[in-house]
Chain A
Amino acid sequence: ELKVEQNPLFLSMQEGKNYTIYCNYSTTSDRLYWYRQDPGKSLESLFVLLSNGAVKQEGRLMASLDTKARLSTLHITAAVHDLSATYFCALQGGSEKLVFGKGMKLTVNP
């Protein structure tokens, strides 16, 4: 059974600080996704990682994938308040369905 675990589940950090969040998964997969969800809103696709060693960056967020360790990381650089949201990693399993982690709620304080 495909399982996805995220940690931490809650993070409060100050503006300007850096932090890395982790996503572990149980079986191999072709694709790993990171999504962002603002309160009361739907999910917005941030990154799709396709292969071992893949790294993608958008603004202050950088995602990477280590398929051998079954680990993806999302690194936050110099956090700003606008990054406050819940971040989900999701693994594409058989039949292309997504299996999501529980999400990490990020609060960036001024």
Chain B
Amino acid sequence: EAGVAQSPRYKIIEKRQSVAFWCNPISGHATLYWYQQILGQGPKLLIQFQNNGVVDDSQLPKDRFSAERLKGVDSTLKIQPAKLEDSAVYLCASSSRGETQYFGPGTRLLVL
């Protein structure tokens, strides 16, 4: 069974630029999560989708971050404009409802 796929794996941008990340969950997983992991910390949930609806986006900085999952399968997370403090690893995870979350390899973002 294929795991969670993410791209790109690495991205370096300058502050105030925009960037987008893509995630394809495990087939059949209705729930998709985006987490931000800052160096030395545990992942923090940014947004959670159930199919194509948002379940929880309470910790998403909505003035600069946006995410969508239009067809209930893959998802994109966008940052516009990026700030230095957005440098982190962005992890996508998926699960069958209520079950173990499986994580993708992550996108490492460096904002200069």
Contact = CB atoms under 8 A, between A and B. Distances in A.
Interface string B30-66: 0101000000111111001000000110000000000
A3 to B, nearest CB: 11
Contact of A45 (B31, B100, B105): B100
Nearest to A31: B98
Q: Provide the main secondary structure of the chain A interface.
A: strand
B11 interface: no
Contacts of A44: 103
A84 B107 CA distance: 23
Most chain B CB inside 10 Å of its own CB: which residue of A42, A48, A103: A42
Nearest to B41: A102
Contact of A100 (B31, B44, B102): B44
A63 interface: no
Interface residues of A, number: 20
B48 A100 contact: no
B95 interface: yes
Interface stretch (A14-22, A54-62, A66-74, A91-99): A91-99
B95 A96 contact: yes
Contact count band on B: 20 to 34
Contact of B45 (A4, A35, A88, A97): A97
Contact of B102 (A41, A45, A101): A45
B101 interface: yes
B104 interface: yes
B103 A95 contact: no
A48 B100 contact: yes
Interface of A: 4, 33, 35, 41-45, 48, 88, 90, 95-103
Interface of B: 31, 33, 40-45, 48, 55-56, 91, 95, 97-98, 100-106
30 contacts: A4-B42, A33-B100, A41-B105, A42-B104, A42-B105, A43-B91, A43-B103, A45-B100, A45-B101, A48-B100, A88-B42, A88-B43, A90-B42, A95-B55, A95-B56, A96-B97, A96-B98, A97-B33, A97-B45, A97-B48, A97-B56, A98-B33, A98-B43, A98-B101, A100-B42, A100-B43, A100-B44, A101-B42, A102-B42, A103-B42
